Amino acid sequence: MKALQVTEFAPFAEHKVVDVESPAIKPGHVKLRVRAAGVNFPDILMVQGQYQVKPPFPFIAGAECAGDIIDVGEGVKHLKVGMRVAALPGVGCFAEEAVVPAEICVPISDKMSYEEAAGFVMVYATSYHALKDRADIKAGETMLVLGAAGGVGLTAVELGKHMGLNVIAAASTQEKLDVCKEYGADHGILYTEEDLKARVREITGKGADICYDPVGDKFAEPALRSLKWGGRYLVIGFAGGEIPKVAFNWMLLKELDVRGIHWGAWIPKNPKGHMTNMMELMQMYNEGKIRPRVSGAHKLENFADAMTELSERKVMGKVVLTMG
């Protein structure tokens, strides 16, 4: 089978798709014929050796995928050959076949394409966990979303609106803000040209209740300062590059909460909660309340094009790789 195999850390464009042996089935696992795989910032960091997780060589890159079950390992009772599922094993997905733990497989709706499913789990589950389990949201509150047209950002806009929030989308181009409006944003801030803190105050009067931040870097300080008394700052990630360093007195002066969101680490601590969230998200999809946005689809051998689009902030929604 063909796979993006990593034998040493290097810039992503230097890696290659090669022929490798089909993975052997294991107890408690299923083998998938991968139809599509989502591309995420951690994938780029991992192949370059810049991610906190460093798998032993050789490894196949790719954190999430969707496909058909073609084999079932010993002990697996709830999944059958032929089922359509999405999975997020962390590695192994940029390949024509993948063996993944059965417990992380999520059956997908017949209405959902493989491309949608391949980019669904990570971004929607992250945002839903952040808003449902961590943010203590109340209907009518205002949430500022940074990087609002990106993978997790756009799901935060969409889910936030669905859950009764007033949503302010902050993005780097007007085209991105237009997409955010389509997904429910009430207001838009072009933070490459506008003063983020001043515009939030202009829109809200007293400041935002919540900030959803997958960007970090230079936007963290003005976003934190834009919160009202008792606001909650959700730390999702650092797609902007630099991990921000903030002064604790800001939190003291307005009794602000800074809340870390580590969805991947939360899953093994609360697997039932995760599966409940996934079932609720799939129900929302079936009811037409959420609609994943696939910004682009590339063939596996053109993975570098997908990673370039992502690293250059050209993606609005998710970009995926397709197999075969």
* Per-residue pLDDT tens digits for 207-255: 999 999 999 888 999 999 999 999 999 999 887 778 888 888 989 999 9
Q: Are residues 168 and 244 in the same domain?
A: yes
Out of 218, 244, 262, a domain closes at 262
Dist CA 58 CA 77 (whole Å): 31
Instruction: Classify residue 282: in a domain, yes or no.
Output: no
pLDDT score at 52: 82
Dist CA 282 CA 108 (whole Å): 7
> Can you list the residues of the chain whose pLDDT is less than 50?
none
- Max distance between CA atoms of the chain, in angstroms, equals 60
pLDDT score at 238: 87
DSSP letter (8 states) at residue 33: E
Q: Are residues 116 and 226 in the same domain?
A: no
Q: Are residues 142 and 235 in the same domain?
A: yes
Whichever domain contains 161, its CATH number is 3.40.50.720
Dist CA 120 CA 12 (whole Å): 23
Instruction: Classify residue 278: in a domain, yes or no.
Output: no
Instruction: Classify residue 251: in a domain, yes or no.
Output: yes
DSSP string across 113-131: -HHHHHTTHHHHHHHHIII
Q: Which residue shows structure tokens 């996934």?
A: 278
Dist CA 147 CA 304 (whole Å): 22
Q: Are residues 190 and 228 in the same domain?
A: yes
pLDDT score at 275: 87
DSSP letter (8 states) at residue 194: S
* Helix spans in the chain (H): 41-47, 114-118, 121-128, 151-162, 174-182, 196-204, 220-225, 248-253, 263-269, 271-286, 303-311
Instruction: Classify residue 271: in a domain, yes or no.
Output: no
DSSP letter (8 states) at residue 95: B
User: Is there a contact between 68 and 82 (Cβ–Cβ < 8 Å)?
Assistant: yes
Q: Are residues 106 and 167 in the same domain?
A: no
Hey, what are 106's tokens? 């999520």
pTM strictly above 0.85 = yes
* Domain residue limits at 221: 124-262
pLDDT score at 314: 87
Instruction: Classify residue 308: in a domain, yes or no.
Output: yes
Whichever domain contains 61, its CATH number is 3.90.180.10
Out of 219, 242, 262, a domain closes at 262
Dist CA 17 CA 187 (whole Å): 43
Instruction: Classify residue 113: in a domain, yes or no.
Output: yes
Dist CA 64 CA 47 (whole Å): 15
pLDDT score at 51: 87
Q: Are residues 258 and 135 in the same domain?
A: yes
If DSSP codes are grouped into helix, strand and coil, which group holds residue 226?
coil
Partners of 141 in the β-ladder: none
Dist CA 185 CA 177 (whole Å): 8
Dist CA 308 CA 305 (whole Å): 5
Instruction: Classify residue 17: in a domain, yes or no.
Output: yes
Q: Are residues 155 and 197 in the same domain?
A: yes
- Closest among 282, 299, 267, 290 to 115, alpha carbons compared: 299
Dist CA 288 CA 165 (whole Å): 19
pLDDT score at 297: 96
Q: Are residues 141 and 236 in the same domain?
A: yes
User: Is there a contact between 5 and 285 (Cβ–Cβ < 8 Å)?
Assistant: no
Q: Are residues 156 and 168 in the same domain?
A: yes
Instruction: Classify residue 270: in a domain, yes or no.
Output: no
pLDDT score at 30: 98
Q: Are residues 115 and 150 in the same domain?
A: no
pLDDT score at 247: 86
- Closest among 80, 51, 76 to 63, alpha carbons compared: 51
